[in-house]
Homo-oligomer: A and B are copies of this chain.
């Protein structure tokens, strides 16, 4: 998606340890107009896939999930990273290793919100090693739901997680795939 790539070049900052900071427009401050264009782009890509539900993980995936859900007209479910007093009853859980935080956490979702009748589109802001997506596919699988695929804003192609999912036959659509950030220079994969 050209507009996103342009914004990444203009406003993204490459930090040490392969961290790409996009806080000014994507995951702390959100450019609302761009967000809904991104959501529409993902919704269009999965328009024929009979998606019944969008699944994301709190917190930074929620905005894109909501924007995509607006166009697909389906509910959003977000997995929680911390079990609060508001998640009760039967749950599905999975372990996720966070790239930016350098730790492993458990994500949980109530079994009331994903069922075997659902076809689930996973949406997230970043895909690097694919740990978060793997955790979410595990939740989908535990619920005996079908997986429609994954819609991602920025994929770190050089981390390999996205291609690994594609090799498994999963439909992964990333709005921008970065193949290299060496020396702070961002190179996108050709579409």
Contacts and interface: CB of A to CB of B under 8 A. Distances in A.
Interface residues of A, number: 43
A173 interface: no
A30 to B, nearest CB: 4
Contact of A70 (B15, B32, B80): B32
Interface of A: 15, 17, 19, 21, 23-24, 27-33, 35-36, 58-60, 62-63, 66-67, 69-70, 73-78, 80, 82, 84-88, 100-101, 109-110, 112-113
A110 B27 CA distance: 12
As for how many copies of this chain the complex holds, the number is 2
Given A58-B58, A85-B101, A31 B66 contact: no
Given A27-B86, A29-B77, A66 B67 contact: yes
Contacts of A110: 23, 28-29
